[in-house]
Structure 1
Amino acid sequence: MSVLAPPARVRRPNPVTQTYTALAQTVRDRGLLSRTRWFYGLLLIGLGLALGGVVTGVILLDDSWLQLLMAAALGVLLTQLAFVGHEASHRQVLSSGPANDRLGWFLAVVCVGMSYSWWMNKHTRHHGNPNKLGKDPDIEIDTFSFEEESAATRRGFKAWFTRRQGLFFFPLLLLEGINLHLKSVQSLWENRTVAGRRLELTVLVARLAIYLTAVFWMLPLGMAFAFVGLQVAVFGLYMGASFAPNHIGMPIVGREEKLDFFTKQVRTSRNVSGGWWATALMGGLNYQIEHHLFPSMPRPHLAIARRMVLEHCRRHEVDYAENNLLAAWGIVIGYLNRVGLSARDSFRCPIASELR
């Protein structure tokens, strides 16, 4: 199935607030917002055992280059832990808010090495206004430009890069792990008003020191660098490739546009088809539409909610975007390249100019 809204400005539709209220009540009545502690308990036990297996593998393999398999596996497992941390931040895992925050903090800061407070601030603003200019931090201009307005401001080498940014997107995700770790420390260092800032900074630095000490103590120097580099690269690529299909290429909401909650969340989000395997691979992010409509819904209930939301959208003629993973990645690359064409061709290579 592929029903894709074009990546253009969203026009204000007829309000459907009352219909969403009825849908939400049906979801609650069916118990789809109730906790599934058994699922997350088994998942965390499985991930813990897998991490133990990686540590055992690192010890037993000694100085074999098969250690790189352990590095890649560690990158995958840390991403899976990050998915659960994301779910805890949305109150999907445990019953109380504080308990979810403690779990999310532990998984993000201690296990993954990311700032929980930075993530919460950024991600909460994104959920409130997905793909809205001036409101969603995920589409603010950075390395990539996600809409024409920002792409048009690029000059020089940045403009050259932006016009080809779709081609560079996935290769540069290999560096996203480094970016996430650096942004975490930078945000805590610069924002002195964050509650628990010193503890979070201390734990992040201690975690990094313990991790690097262990790797460089157990492995030869060159292999240790390769181990850390591959682990961080796999982590960044896996994280970025899982989050990228969610909203990139979906309609952009103008600065002054006003949309009801249901339409705003559905029309700016994309699902990835594939059923249980896509859910396992992407940590439930494949049901992005349902996640945005019901952020606290546990992962095992999202597939049931999808059928209800899809029928609701068909009944009220609201676009519902869903593509398989390869098609979604293709849309992301194509959209970024189309946006990049807005960058001015003002870069001139001095050497090429002299030759001409």
Structure 2
Amino acid sequence: MPQAATLLAEPSAGSDFAPLLRRVREQGLLERRRGRYALTVAGNLLALAATATGIVLSGDSWWTLLLTAPLAVFASRAAFIGHDSGHAQIGRTRRGNRVLGLIHSDLLLGMSYGWWNDKHNRHHANPNHIDKDPDVGVGALVWTRQQAAQRQGFTRWLTRHQARLFFPMLLLEGINLKISGVRDLKRQEAGERRTEAVLLVLHAAGYLTLLLSSMSPGKAVVFALVHHALFGLHLGMAFAPNHKGMEMPDPDGERWGHLRRQVLTSRNVRGGPLTDWFLGGLNYQIEHHLFPNMPRPHLRLAQPLVRAHCLAAGLPYTETGLIDSYRQALRHMHDVGAPLRAG
């Protein structure tokens, strides 16, 4: 499985990133926190088990729908653990991180770890690069006016209104993540494809058994739809503030080094422990992109070092509140669609 963005490449001695990397290493911020992650994993598994028990005990009642919210929240925690394992933040070996990722992504969520890791690593290698970052490629949404100009028919209407439709569309993201992962199985090597296919089937069987043994088919369908809608919304709210509306490197322009490429394209979100927990540490997006294999608990500790280094290097360190981060992302999407609204 590709691991291109999980391990930090050694910069050249003259790199503007090298002094920062040296200070971070000296403070031990790249050392693993296996004990902390063990508690995180165990706590989240207990929370998921408690929620599943609540579903069984609530039985065939519409009140059971109230449990879609905690199930979506704790499923998102599992996704964050899968994300961290994909970046080799947790275990010391590739095999250990892969096992954790497969359990939390495929088995618990029904979302392909291999698909996500491949896509996410390409994003980390070239964030916001229109030709290389899959997160800013043409899809349901577009991210540049050049992309918008090529839209026709329904997609043209969608682009005109994409800013106001963004959050409603996130309600479909939970299902889209599963579909994308299944479609990606044909790309994978035979052994990887077989492992993931088995785990995805086990997830589907377990999820359906839980719902259909606890409630009527009609209520089970509604529960699944609401759960996946909230799950997609939660993950979208965690990932959306990080890069949208930030610098987009010119494909034909100068080649940026690691420091400039990661800092100028990323935005941090201010907040305390609750924000860190809710966003899975992704609110420290600058630190995470500079040090993708840094354990999540250390991102907050690295922030003062990174901010000071950016100041000394003359690079803007972008940080804002959560609501304003959404406002900036939506403003960018609205601006991209402006020519289509004028036409």
TM-score by length of 1: 0.89
Equivalences for residues 206-217 of structure 1 within 5 A? 206-217=202-213
| CA deviation string 1:190-218 (max 9, x = no partner) | 32546411221232123113311320221
Paired with 1:343 and 1:200, the residues of 2 have a C-alpha distance of 42
Alignment of 1:308 with 2:277, yes or no, is no
User: 1:108·1:114 contact (CA, 8 Å) conserved in 2?
Assistant: yes
Equivalences for residues 173-192 of structure 1 within 5 A? 173-188=170-185, 190-191=186-187
Q: Please, what is the CA RMSD of the aligned residues?
A: 1.7
Matching residue within 287, 295, 317 for 2:284? 287
Instruction: Find the counterpart in structure 1 of residue 249 from structure 2.
Output: 253
Paired with 1:243 and 1:85, the residues of 2 have a C-alpha distance of 14
Matching residue within 28, 32, 37 for 2:29? 32
Matching residue within 318, 325, 328 for 1:328? 325
Paired with 2:95 and 2:57, the residues of 1 have a C-alpha distance of 39
Give the match's secondary structure for 2:16.
Answer: helix
Residue 17 (structure 1) shift: 5.8
In structure 1, what residue type is equivalent to 2:284? Y
In structure 2, what residue type is equivalent to 1:291? H
In structure 2, what residue type is equivalent to 1:79? S
Equivalences for residues 317-356 of structure 1 within 5 A? 317-343=314-340
Instruction: Find the counterpart in structure 1 of residue 8 from structure 2.
Output: none
User: 2:107·2:202 contact (CA, 8 Å) conserved in 1?
Assistant: no
Matching residue within 2, 20, 24 for 1:23? 20
TM-score by length of 2: 0.93
Instruction: Find the counterpart in structure 2 of residue 351 from structure 1.
Output: none
Instruction: Find the counterpart in structure 1 of residue 233 from structure 2.
Output: 237
Residue 16 (structure 1) shift: 11
Paired with 1:308 and 1:34, the residues of 2 have a C-alpha distance of 16
Give the match's secondary structure for 2:41.
Answer: helix
Equivalences for residues 86-235 of structure 1 within 5 A? 86-188=83-185, 190-191=186-187, 193=189, 195-235=191-231
| CA deviation string 1:109-159 (max 9, x = no partner) | 101111111111111111100001210010000000011221111122221
The gaps in structure 2 that reach 5 residues or longer are: 1-11
Instruction: Find the counterpart in structure 2 of residue 3 from structure 1.
Output: none
Residue 333 (structure 1) shift: 1.0
Residues 17/80 of structure 1: CA separation in 2 closer, same or farther (3 Å cut): farther
Residues 16/255 of structure 1: CA separation in 2 closer, same or farther (3 Å cut): farther
In structure 2, what residue type is equivalent to 1:220? S
What is the percent sequence identity of the aligned residues?
41
Residues 309/192 of structure 1: CA separation in 2 closer, same or farther (3 Å cut): closer
* Deviating more after overlay: 244-253 vs 49-58: 49-58
Residues 210/290 of structure 1: CA separation in 2 closer, same or farther (3 Å cut): same
Residue 299 (structure 1) shift: 1.1
Paired with 1:25 and 1:78, the residues of 2 have a C-alpha distance of 36
| CA deviation string 1:12-60 (max 9, x = no partner) | xxx9963310110110010000011121111111111111211221122
Give the match's secondary structure for 1:27.
Answer: helix
Paired with 1:37 and 1:108, the residues of 2 have a C-alpha distance of 19
Give the match's secondary structure for 1:19.
Answer: coil
User: 2:55·2:64 contact (CA, 8 Å) conserved in 1?
Assistant: yes
User: 1:17·1:261 contact (CA, 8 Å) conserved in 2?
Assistant: no
Paired with 1:133 and 1:299, the residues of 2 have a C-alpha distance of 28
